[in-house]
Protein backbone atom coordinates (compact mmCIF):
# COMPACT_ATOMS: atom_id res chain seq x y z
CA UNK A 1 0.00 0.00 0.00
CA UNK A 2 1.23 3.50 -0.75
CA UNK A 3 2.48 5.73 2.03
CA UNK A 4 0.18 8.37 0.56
CA UNK A 5 -3.08 6.55 1.27
CA UNK A 6 -5.66 9.08 2.51
CA UNK A 7 -6.27 8.90 6.27
CA UNK A 8 -9.08 10.13 8.44
CA UNK A 9 -7.60 12.48 11.04
CA UNK A 10 -9.13 14.86 13.52
CA UNK A 11 -8.29 18.57 13.72
CA UNK A 12 -5.13 17.85 15.73
CA UNK A 13 -3.80 15.40 13.13
CA UNK A 14 -4.35 12.36 15.38
CA UNK A 15 -6.12 9.15 14.37
CA UNK A 16 -9.90 9.47 14.32
CA UNK A 17 -12.01 6.38 13.74
CA UNK A 18 -14.72 8.08 11.75
CA UNK A 19 -17.28 5.76 13.36
CA UNK A 20 -20.20 7.39 15.14
CA UNK A 21 -21.09 7.03 18.82
CA UNK A 22 -20.23 3.98 20.87
CA UNK A 23 -18.38 2.16 18.05
CA UNK A 24 -16.15 5.19 17.49
CA UNK A 25 -15.40 5.37 21.22
CA UNK A 26 -14.43 1.67 21.30
CA UNK A 27 -12.28 2.07 18.19
CA UNK A 28 -10.43 5.10 19.54
CA UNK A 29 -9.90 3.46 22.96
CA UNK A 30 -8.42 0.36 21.30
CA UNK A 31 -6.22 2.60 19.09
CA UNK A 32 -4.80 4.39 22.15
CA UNK A 33 -4.30 1.10 24.01
CA UNK A 34 -2.43 -0.44 21.04
CA UNK A 35 -0.27 2.65 20.54
CA UNK A 36 0.65 2.59 24.25
CA UNK A 37 1.51 -1.13 24.16
CA UNK A 38 3.64 -0.77 21.05
CA UNK A 39 5.50 2.30 22.29
CA UNK A 40 6.08 0.83 25.75
CA UNK A 41 7.16 -2.52 24.29
CA UNK A 42 9.71 -1.00 21.92
CA UNK A 43 11.09 1.38 24.58
CA UNK A 44 11.35 -1.38 27.19
CA UNK A 45 13.08 -3.69 24.71
CA UNK A 46 15.61 -0.98 23.84
CA UNK A 47 16.27 -0.18 27.52
CA UNK A 48 16.56 -3.89 28.39
CA UNK A 49 18.98 -4.58 25.54
CA UNK A 50 21.11 -1.48 26.22
CA UNK A 51 21.27 -2.30 29.93
CA UNK A 52 22.40 -5.83 29.10
CA UNK A 53 25.13 -4.56 26.76
CA UNK A 54 26.37 -2.06 29.37
CA UNK A 55 26.36 -4.76 32.07
CA UNK A 56 28.27 -7.13 29.79
CA UNK A 57 31.02 -4.59 29.07
CA UNK A 58 31.14 -2.96 32.52
CA UNK A 59 30.89 -6.09 34.68
CA UNK A 60 31.93 -8.82 32.26
CA UNK A 61 28.55 -10.58 32.49
CA UNK A 62 25.16 -9.75 31.00
CA UNK A 63 21.82 -9.87 32.79
CA UNK A 64 20.54 -13.45 32.98
CA UNK A 65 16.89 -12.48 32.35
CA UNK A 66 17.35 -10.20 29.32
CA UNK A 67 16.56 -12.86 26.73
CA UNK A 68 13.30 -13.82 28.40
CA UNK A 69 12.15 -10.23 28.79
CA UNK A 70 12.89 -9.53 25.12
CA UNK A 71 10.97 -12.69 24.16
CA UNK A 72 7.96 -11.45 26.12
CA UNK A 73 8.20 -8.01 24.53
CA UNK A 74 8.52 -9.43 20.99
CA UNK A 75 5.33 -11.43 21.51
CA UNK A 76 3.59 -8.33 22.88
CA UNK A 77 4.74 -6.11 19.99
CA UNK A 78 3.83 -8.71 17.36
CA UNK A 79 0.28 -9.30 18.53
CA UNK A 80 -0.43 -5.68 19.46
CA UNK A 81 1.01 -4.71 16.07
CA UNK A 82 -1.39 -6.77 13.95
CA UNK A 83 -4.37 -4.77 15.20
CA UNK A 84 -2.46 -1.52 14.80
CA UNK A 85 -1.54 -2.40 11.21
CA UNK A 86 -5.16 -3.30 10.43
CA UNK A 87 -6.38 -0.01 11.91
CA UNK A 88 -4.01 2.01 9.75
CA UNK A 89 -4.54 -0.06 6.59
CA UNK A 90 -0.93 -1.28 6.60
CA UNK A 91 -1.33 -5.02 6.00
CA UNK A 92 0.07 -6.29 2.71
CA UNK A 93 -2.54 -6.42 -0.03
CA UNK A 94 -2.51 -8.02 -3.47
CA UNK A 95 -4.51 -5.31 -5.17
CA UNK A 96 -4.02 -5.72 -8.95
CA UNK A 97 -7.53 -7.12 -9.50
CA UNK A 98 -9.03 -4.98 -6.74
CA UNK A 99 -7.65 -1.74 -8.23
CA UNK A 100 -8.95 -2.65 -11.70
CA UNK A 101 -12.62 -2.93 -10.72
CA UNK A 102 -15.04 0.01 -10.31
CA UNK A 103 -15.68 1.67 -6.93
CA UNK A 104 -18.94 -0.23 -6.21
CA UNK A 105 -17.19 -3.53 -6.86
CA UNK A 106 -14.26 -2.49 -4.65
CA UNK A 107 -16.68 -1.62 -1.85
CA UNK A 108 -18.39 -5.03 -2.05
CA UNK A 109 -15.03 -6.79 -2.26
CA UNK A 110 -13.65 -4.82 0.70
CA UNK A 111 -16.70 -5.76 2.80
CA UNK A 112 -16.20 -9.45 1.92
CA UNK A 113 -12.44 -9.29 2.58
CA UNK A 114 -12.86 -7.50 5.92
CA UNK A 115 -15.65 -9.84 7.04
CA UNK A 116 -13.66 -12.94 6.10
CA UNK A 117 -10.49 -11.59 7.76
CA UNK A 118 -12.47 -10.74 10.90
CA UNK A 119 -13.82 -14.31 11.04
CA UNK A 120 -10.29 -15.73 10.59
CA UNK A 121 -8.97 -13.51 13.40
CA UNK A 122 -11.71 -14.68 15.79
CA UNK A 123 -11.01 -18.30 14.74
CA UNK A 124 -7.30 -17.80 15.54
CA UNK A 125 -8.25 -16.09 18.82
CA UNK A 126 -10.25 -19.16 19.84
CA UNK A 127 -7.45 -21.56 18.97
CA UNK A 128 -4.73 -19.46 20.58
CA UNK A 129 -6.79 -19.51 23.78
CA UNK A 130 -6.83 -23.31 23.51
CA UNK A 131 -3.05 -23.27 23.10
CA UNK A 132 -2.71 -21.19 26.26
CA UNK A 133 -4.88 -23.69 28.16
CA UNK A 134 -2.58 -26.49 26.97
CA UNK A 135 0.51 -24.59 28.13
CA UNK A 136 -1.14 -23.88 31.47
CA UNK A 137 -1.92 -27.56 32.02
CA UNK A 138 1.75 -28.48 31.42
CA UNK A 139 2.95 -26.08 34.13
CA UNK A 140 6.16 -25.01 32.35
CA UNK A 141 7.95 -21.99 33.81
CA UNK A 142 10.45 -19.47 32.48
CA UNK A 143 13.82 -20.48 33.96
CA UNK A 144 15.15 -16.96 34.66
CA UNK A 145 12.00 -15.10 35.64
CA UNK A 146 10.34 -18.07 37.34
CA UNK A 147 6.72 -17.57 36.31
CA UNK A 148 4.53 -19.81 34.20
CA UNK A 149 5.20 -19.58 30.49
CA UNK A 150 1.52 -19.37 29.46
CA UNK A 151 1.34 -15.79 30.76
CA UNK A 152 3.55 -14.48 27.96
CA UNK A 153 1.20 -15.87 25.30
CA UNK A 154 -1.85 -14.01 26.64
CA UNK A 155 -1.16 -11.36 23.99
CA UNK A 156 -1.92 -13.78 21.13
CA UNK A 157 -5.69 -14.10 21.71
CA UNK A 158 -5.88 -10.43 22.76
CA UNK A 159 -4.15 -9.34 19.53
CA UNK A 160 -6.29 -11.61 17.36
CA UNK A 161 -9.48 -10.40 19.09
CA UNK A 162 -8.54 -6.73 18.66
CA UNK A 163 -7.69 -7.33 14.99
CA UNK A 164 -10.97 -9.19 14.47
CA UNK A 165 -12.87 -6.29 16.03
CA UNK A 166 -10.97 -3.83 13.83
CA UNK A 167 -11.86 -5.69 10.63
CA UNK A 168 -15.47 -6.01 11.75
CA UNK A 169 -15.58 -2.24 12.36
CA UNK A 170 -14.17 -1.82 8.83
CA UNK A 171 -17.15 -3.80 7.52
CA UNK A 172 -19.51 -1.48 9.41
CA UNK A 173 -17.64 1.60 8.15
CA UNK A 174 -17.97 0.41 4.54
CA UNK A 175 -21.66 -0.44 4.99
CA UNK A 176 -22.45 3.01 6.44
CA UNK A 177 -20.37 5.29 4.22
CA UNK A 178 -20.31 6.25 0.56
CA UNK A 179 -16.55 5.86 0.16
CA UNK A 180 -14.47 2.68 0.28
CA UNK A 181 -12.37 2.25 3.44
CA UNK A 182 -9.40 -0.05 4.04
CA UNK A 183 -9.98 0.43 7.77
CA UNK A 184 -12.14 2.71 9.87
CA UNK A 185 -9.60 5.50 9.53
CA UNK A 186 -8.03 4.92 6.10
CA UNK A 187 -9.87 5.63 2.89
CA UNK A 188 -9.08 3.55 -0.19
CA UNK A 189 -7.08 5.36 -2.84
CA UNK A 190 -3.77 6.99 -3.51
CA UNK A 191 -2.91 10.60 -2.96
CA UNK A 192 -1.28 12.47 -5.82
CA UNK A 193 2.21 12.99 -4.37
CA UNK A 194 3.42 15.10 -7.31
CA UNK A 195 0.81 17.79 -6.72
CA UNK A 196 1.67 17.90 -2.99
CA UNK A 197 5.36 18.69 -3.57
Domain span at residue 121 reads: 21-38+77-191
Please report whether residue 130 resides in a domain.
yes
Please report whether residue 54 resides in a domain.
no
Please report whether residue 67 resides in a domain.
no
Please report whether residue 70 resides in a domain.
no
User: Cβ of 19: how many Cβ atoms within 10 Å?
Assistant: 21
Domain count, the chain: 1
The sign one gets for the Cα dihedral 153, 155, 156, 161 is: positive
Please report whether residue 7 resides in a domain.
no
Please report whether residue 1 resides in a domain.
no
Phi, psi of 93 (to 5 degrees): -125, 145
Residue 82, CB half-sphere, CA atoms under 13 Å: how many?
Answer: 22
Please report whether residue 163 resides in a domain.
yes
pLDDT in 10s for each residue of the chain, 197 residues: 444 444 544 444 455 566 667 877 877 888 888 899 899 999 999 999 999 999 988 888 888 889 899 999 999 999 989 988 888 887 777 777 888 888 888 889 999 999 999 999 999 999 999 999 999 999 888 888 888 989 989 999 999 999 999 899 899 988 988 888 888 888 887 654 444 44
Q: Is the separation of the CB atoms in 166 and 194 below 8 Å?
A: no
- pTM score above 0.75: yes
Please report whether residue 169 resides in a domain.
yes
Q: What is the DSSP letter of 188?
A: S
Amino acid sequence: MSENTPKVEDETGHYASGLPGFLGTIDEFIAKFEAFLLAAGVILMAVNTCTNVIARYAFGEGLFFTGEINRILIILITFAGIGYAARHGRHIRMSAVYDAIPAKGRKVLMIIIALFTSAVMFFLCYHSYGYIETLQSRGRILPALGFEIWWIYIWAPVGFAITGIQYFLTVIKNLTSRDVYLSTGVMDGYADSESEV
